[in-house]
Amino acid sequence: MKRRMRLFRKPAVILASLSLMSPAFAQATLSSATDEEIITLSQLTEPADQTEEELLVEQEGDEQAVADDLAEQEATEQTEADTLAEQEATEQAEVDALAEQEAAEQAEADALAEQEATEQAEAAALAEQEATEQAEADALAEQEATEQAEAAALAEQ
């Protein structure tokens, strides 16, 4: 039994290697080293073919997992890009709102300055009017004093 296991071990390794190199060997036969037994390659390559299929399935599964990971990474990056764009849009909206608020405050300040200038102009006009009225009152008082002096001079005569 030991000898038989030894015989199967070496040809199986050779056959597995041959099976991977060329599928045409699946129909060939091989004699054992002592010519005690003939081994059909198709029998020995069948597990190797199954192993190849399993490896291919596993490789395809690995490739699909890598593709899925890549797609997930791209989706994550797209989500991050969308989030960043949304954040930038929000910040721009805040900047625009702040600029609009500053413009409104500047318009209020301009209106207040214009109102103060109008009030100062009105105060200056009122002061000028009062000065004119005072000058007229002084002129009237002087005229009355002149008339009284003339009347007193006439009365003395």
Please measure the distance between the N-terminal and C-terminal CA atoms of the chain and give it in whole angstroms. 179
Tokens linked to 74: 């791209």
- The string of pLDDT tens digits covering residues 82-110 is 999 999 999 999 999 999 999 999 999 99
- The string of pLDDT tens digits covering residues 130-157 is 999 999 999 999 999 999 999 888 888 7
The b/e string for 67-84 (b: 16+ C-beta within 10 A; e otherwise) is eeeeeeeeeeeeeeeeee
Is this structure's pTM higher than 0.75? no
| Range list of H helices, the chain | 2-21, 41-156
Q: Domain boundaries in the chain?
A: 2-147
Which residue(s) pair with 145 in the sheet? none
